[in-house]
Amino acid sequence: MTVKSQPRFFPSLLSNRHYSGTVSTLLYNWPIFAGALFFSVVTFITGLLLPEPWRWLFWVSSAGVLGLCFSILITSYLVYDAGQQHEYDRLAELGQVGQANVIVDITCGKLRGTRGLLPLFKGGHYFLIDIYNAEKMPDAALRRARALEPPLRAERRIYQRPGQAHSLPLPHNWADIIHCSFSLHELQDSADRDALFTEFARVLKPGGRLLIAEHGRDWFNFATFGPGVFSFFSPSTWQKHLTKAGLTVQVHERWRGLVHLWVATREPH
């Protein structure tokens, strides 16, 4: 992972524990929100020029689109930012992060989960592996995330490396924990996901733990994110990849209805 300069906009907002999830949702998807706002304004003004019942139809459409935008932001706050505990706190608790000596964090450039996990990991070594591939990950929101994401504060215990789904630059039987926060779904190719989970099994020590936070392709997420839900995968998809790689699920729970948390282990042979 190359060192990048500090973003010009919003670095403190994206780093803040209390609302970084909501701000990320807004900034990474700002063209969608801007387009929805433009549609709402134009539809409302057009409705003023039309007779009933068309006027009310246009106004309802305007209010509906605007309401969906506010619903996404409010739900994002409730899922990511509300309360004292966040999804990365719960995942660290389930995965016993405090007992680890070597943590590998797999990312595509979004570092919110990394920032949440690091303060909970007091000692040892933290390897941040960036598996971003511009050809295989063309999502515009991800490109914006990479451009806006503030760099991590320099620490001697953090090692940042580029990697590929088929080849992580790490030795066998080495990591106590592998952490993946909202990055795995960026791998849209099933073969790439299979290869990456095989790499997880190779890199983990016997008894090592894989921690995953991902949204699911389900009705709860569809009601919140609309068509954006189709960029996610069902829980059964992740279960299939875990099983194929020889990893055993120890914990699977939902965080505030929308986020799936997994802890899987590599069993000693």
pLDDT band at 269 (very low <50, low <70, confident <90, very high): low
The reply to whether 25 and 111 lie within a common domain is no
Domain limits for position 149: 87-266
Predicted pLDDT of residue 9:
55
Residue 1 located in a structural domain:
no
CA-based nearest residue to 245, from 263, 266, 260: 266
The reply to whether 118 and 24 lie within a common domain is no
Mean pLDDT, range 52-72, rounded to an integer? 94
Write the burial class of residue 123 (CB in 10 Å: 0-12 exposed, 13-18 middle, 19+ buried): exposed
Chain centroid offset of residue 25 CA:
10
Predicted pLDDT of residue 154:
67
Q: What is the pTM of this model?
A: 0.91
The domain boundary, picked from 81, 96, 128, lies at 81
The pLDDT tens digits of the residues spanning 249-261 come to: 999 999 999 999 9
- Total domains in the chain come to 2
Residue 15 located in a structural domain:
no
The reply to whether 105 and 216 lie within a common domain is yes
Predicted pLDDT of residue 90:
97
